Amino acid sequence: MTDKSADTLLQNFRNKVTRNMVWAGAVTLLALTVTQLWLAHYLQAAVMFTSGIVFAAIAYTFRAQRIPNYWRLLFMVLLTAICAMSIKQNGVIGVYWAYPLLVSSFFMFRDGYAIALATTITVATSAAAIAFMELDDAWRITASLTVILVLGSVFVVMLGRMQRLLHQLVITDTLTGLQNRQRLTGVLNELLASFKRYNRSASLLMLDLDHFKLLNDKHGHLFGDQMLKQLANRLKQRLRVNDQLFRVGGEEFLVVLPETDLAEAKKVAQKLLSTVSDEPFEGKDAQVHLTVSIGVAQLRLEQSWAEWINSADTALLEAKRKGRNQVCVAEGYTEI
């Protein structure tokens, strides 16, 4: 199981894009400072130089982490002010900087924040155009900026929906609809942090469907898939609101029980054991009786999440060794 989840990788990518944009802004402004000095636009040169130094300092300071939102907002505000100054000083030529500025706003923030920022930039740039340019040119500029705003907003909304859909696909087991191993690392790390800081107990249940290979050999893999889906539904119905259920292998499931000590975890495990064995499972071509073996492990202070899972897995193997259809616990593997 990888230590870097899909969420972490995506966030790291976003942070890298943001830093590169700030670096690009810093380099561009410092280069343009020379041009403004040559044109004797000393005030604009001073603003550009100062902004370029600020941007470079921000990008360097946060080179290994996420740039906070208030620094991102400062970056966009300064660029908008420089763009307005350029429109006042250079007319239509100054408007050219408004278009990459508007597009960059969709990358600096997400969802509604990006749209709100882009709308603000559009209004500010249009106001500057109306104030310092001929009306015929100003309304054309306003219209073109509005078109970019609308198209960019649609892009941001659709991209956000696609990212949420892809995220759901990454963390979800396609057969059972349960969470998979990709999501498990983050959940366990959160419980470890809560245990170390607040001494909140937590337990794991490792479940394995007994004789699943024989079931597949006798009835076929499609029948086995039907049983796994029914098993997942039964387990979900009997778990508590805060409990989380994962499919971590072919016929292996993991139940995470927050704020649950070993005694309570045993009760939950026994309840799940009865839930599976008490009533038959209905397949398309046959009715079968299934059982599960369960290993129980409570989190200990010295354990990592990998060691915690291994404790539950070891208890599960002991339940299998003792004959299946039973619950064993990690501490001495005492049978319930």
Dig out the tokens for 196 from the structure. Answer: 């170390």
Residue 293 three-state SS: strand
For 327, list phi and psi in degrees, rounded to 5: -115, 135
At residue 95, what is the residue type? V
Say how far residue 230 (Cα) sits from the centre of its chain.
Answer: 29
Contacts of 326 (CB under 8 A, 6+ apart): 273, 293, 294, 319, 335, 336
Within 10 angstroms of residue 324's Cβ, the number of other Cβ atoms is 14
Q: What's the length of the chain?
A: 336
Tell me how far apart the alpha carbons of residues 317 and 208 are, in angstroms, rounded to a whole number.
9
Torsion of CA 321, 324, 326, 329, to 10 degrees: 30
Are 92 and 83 spatial neighbours (Cβ–Cβ below 8 Å)?
Answer: no
Are 167 and 287 spatial neighbours (Cβ–Cβ below 8 Å)?
Answer: no
Residue 255 three-state SS: strand
H/E element, 127: helix 111-132
Query: Is 318 labeled as catalytic in the residue annotation?
Result: no
Q: Which of 251, 264, 307, 331 is catalytic?
A: 251
| Residue 172: strand pairing partners | 179
Residues belonging to the active site: 251
